[in-house]
Structure 1
């Protein structure tokens, strides 16, 4: 069961709680929907009377009692009428005894704070003669009905179970797909309990490969997500299934480091890739919305995109790492002014230094000599595999570098405008820069199901790859990535920082990507500011673990 003690399954707790303390224990005895509902010591409370003004503590207690009695008796209609959302509550309460297979339930009221009442639920879930206990704690609040004037339970799915969110449902029985036992590249088991960021990855693997691996489903109680494709959350295993074993290319040690690293900042995501193989070593997110931005997000990557732009400029012979590149404080293109951070400039410095110091104007000044609005998308697609359909083994969003005109074309050179990336695609770009060859990232080997991997139409020229790696190393040793990369051991390391302005956001997104040996990683922190400040330490921690 998921983390919180409130949702813990406690063996034998049903009988123990039937004699619990409090101001009433409401129990359903027998089959769900039966007519032998009982209350210890008194008849079921009557519905509260209509009133005016704020709900009193007494009204809240009486309303909660009546609701608990109806819920315990399996009377979904009566319980729903005691809430301010009868339709939603009726369906959910009905599901509790039918779709969720609850055969017995006891509800023990707990402490009351004003109009909020805590309570404990001890239930039994039965499937084909097998019964398992389920226990958890939750709370409800009582409000005044806008039109009726009655005190009513303020309906929320969490009233039924604390882990339920809007649009989610409790479901029991055989799961849609058999379980899988996922292991890392070294045979270590990967579980959502130990590696929470992998919950959706593991669920996706289960849905896609469970039956192919010969697993049997058994029976479970789970939370059905509101969003199609989102991971199911198992609450209770009723009948053990036989999991099929699936080997991933993830690395448990790197994954553990990634899980800890993203906890440093809210809205943080990171991915690590092995440049020599394309194997994804770690995927981690720390977000309030639970969205897997690491592999499914799409936001402007800021100056980390200069890796692709630099490769394109080097490939066309317009710049060279050792040749001087003009870096004025500002430059204009088709009516839009572009500036460097705090208006800095470089005098008589090389293109490598402009790259290391993240000089925007040095890049944008090259758009006119390039003379081809399709040059950057072409480089991204043909060399870095961006725009091809990646088949990673789990669903991903694989980056977008569209053709653009006017100021948007210039903005694209520095990772703004219409470009969309996520940590997976940026880690892959860095891995490609590291080796000069695009290898499509994978979570499970293509040999598992014979799927065709995306390929780039050409490799990077050796001279271009050598200069690109040298510039990234310079960025790590004396450029904008120096502070973050100083924590990474060894000398074979390179990086690129980025910050991306987002419309309506108070602070720019923080981006950072780097490599150390045969590990490449990229991180993003929404609203994190400068790339080296937030995303940088996350990448450094992951690289050290690799």
Structure 2
């Protein structure tokens, strides 16, 4: 009888997670080696003394280690054994919190996990489960991945913990919650009244989440019941990332929010970024600040609005305006462009160490000569560039209110070599395509108009303003060098056929441990301005340039 009971109990035990079609178990002395599966924590207290304990294992992970560690985690999670699943990671406390919330707050059950073929230490897997709340039930299905690492303390193979292992949309501090949504859904409309959906415009997924977060409670809708990612509170001085709906159990009644987006230009932007990896672009109207299109190759993060990247030489637009105001440069006056220039102990180079002998500042700007700017660093105060960006271009003050979360650029006060590097868009300077499209817009219109996606008249919010404008003389000089760059400089190929009412600046931003720089481009054509970046794309004129120029052409009807 006792033997039959034990057999029956074993038969009721849930199967281990399948990894790449193979069920992985460890047999040690005829029994399942649970300790080795779940981190070896019991081994140290199981009669193994310091003199007999094995040395910490190092070196690359073997295929069997990857399989064993990942299967241990997936099997325990699938069986609802949070303690064992968390112990199979390198941060059991953090894993326990997220895995417990997955079932308790997310109301997620009947979990089935199926592992795919691992690539090195990375293991993809699919999740199928059921979300149940107040008698309502909906299926949940998605893909995720985990990475096996070697634990520092004992060298054991274990899952490297990240919240994104449990769901790819989870970041540190986020939670999965099923319940009354709180914020009613919205139907977002383009500038002509047509509906905007993520299915039609994939880049707008994060934008639609942001619009709902901002306007859902005031747009006249009624909340439903949903499984959603509830984001952590934003750090001081930053804007909270919007919550994200994953499953709708009971649909609410949506309110309506009209945006400034152009359906034709949005569709064109989507097509253009899809042709390149890691591309982002924004198009806006300088005279008003209306955003006409925003698109990203990566639909999971809105780099165009929330990215924080070194802008490279596109920053020279702001720097040039400052040099003109201070009388340190003039378009047609001679200006040094040596092969190299040293400041603050750093030696700065031009691309391929080119030089321009007996050239003008306009020629240096058009060819994107770095040293033409570095040579002026000794004549500047540490906070000059920061003040120029804030006072004239409205950047770096964390006060934009476009209708969804944004990063508003950063130009910190720096000293010595870092201050010099910031003059050419490196150092601590950080921007995104929205910021740089706004820079081109300010040059075109002569006044900073904060970009916006939803008219301020909808909710009477206060939008950002600049404290001053450039003088007519400085503005004319800045437009002249940007027009020359578009006509005969590094932007000429991309901007061909769009003149004469145009201007542009290219940029390439070096990034540590990245083989190719990020390619940047900002430009205007008539009452349109845009900017784009292609990460790891190389020179901006040949990567981001064609994307921005094509949008300018489409918007101009040409």
Q: TM-score range by the shorter chain?
A: 0.7 to 0.9
> Which of 335, 342, 346 pairs up with 2:356?
346
Q: Compute the displacement of 1:496 (Å).
A: 0.4
Please name the residue that 1:477 is paired with: 487
User: Is the contact made by 2:82 and 2:100 (CA closer than 8 Å) also made in structure 1?
Assistant: no
Q: Secondary structure at the match of 1:254?
A: helix
User: Is the contact made by 2:206 and 2:301 (CA closer than 8 Å) also made in structure 1?
Assistant: no
1:314 aligns with 2:314: no
Q: Deviations over 1:152-172 (max 9, x none)?
A: 999998997787788765432
> Which of 200, 204, 210 pairs up with 2:210?
204
Please name the residue that 1:528 is paired with: 537
User: Is the contact made by 1:199 and 1:231 (CA closer than 8 Å) also made in structure 2?
Assistant: no
User: Is the contact made by 1:271 and 1:283 (CA closer than 8 Å) also made in structure 2?
Assistant: yes
User: Is the contact made by 2:128 and 2:139 (CA closer than 8 Å) also made in structure 1?
Assistant: no
TM-score by length of 1: 0.75
Q: Deviations over 1:278-305 (max 9, x none)?
A: 12222223349x4433222333222111
Task: Give the Cα–Cα distance (whole angstroms) in 2 for the partners of residues 63 and 406 of structure 1.
Answer: 52
Q: Deviations over 1:208-246 (max 9, x none)?
A: 221122221111233445786444443332222111211
Task: Give the Cα–Cα distance (whole angstroms) in 2 for the partners of residues 111 and 360 of structure 1.
Answer: 48
Q: Secondary structure at the match of 1:395?
A: coil
> Which of 248, 256, 278 pairs up with 1:237?
248
Q: Compute the displacement of 1:180 (Å).
A: 1.3
1:271 aligns with 2:282: yes
Change (3 A) 1:312 1:93: closer
Please name the residue that 1:538 is paired with: 547
TM-score by length of 2: 0.73
Q: Secondary structure at the match of 1:385?
A: coil
Change (3 A) 1:135 1:343: closer
Matches within 5 A, 1:503-514: 503-514=512-523
Please name the residue that 1:286 is paired with: 297
Q: Secondary structure at the match of 2:196?
A: coil
Task: Give the Cα–Cα distance (whole angstroms) in 2 for the partners of residues 175 and 493 of structure 1.
Answer: 47
Bigger drift between 294-303 and 162-171 goes to: 162-171
Structure 1 unmatched runs, 5+ = 1-38, 144-151
Q: Secondary structure at the match of 2:519?
A: strand
Q: Deviations over 1:32-86 (max 9, x none)?
A: xxxxxxx9xx855588851599979xx99x9999979x85xxxx34996799469
Please name the residue that 1:297 is paired with: 307
Task: Give the Cα–Cα distance (whole angstroms) in 2 for the partners of residues 157 and 374 of structure 1.
Answer: 39
User: Is the contact made by 1:255 and 1:281 (CA closer than 8 Å) also made in structure 2?
Assistant: yes
Task: Give the Cα–Cα distance (whole angstroms) in 1 for the partners of residues 114 and 365 of structure 2.
Answer: 64
CA RMSD of superposed structures (Å): 4.6
> Which of 164, 187, 197 pairs up with 1:191?
197
> Which of 361, 380, 398 pairs up with 2:371?
361
Q: Compute the displacement of 1:426 (Å).
A: 1.1
Change (3 A) 1:46 1:328: closer
Structure 2 unmatched runs, 5+ = 1-7, 17-24, 26-30, 38-62, 150-157, 235-239
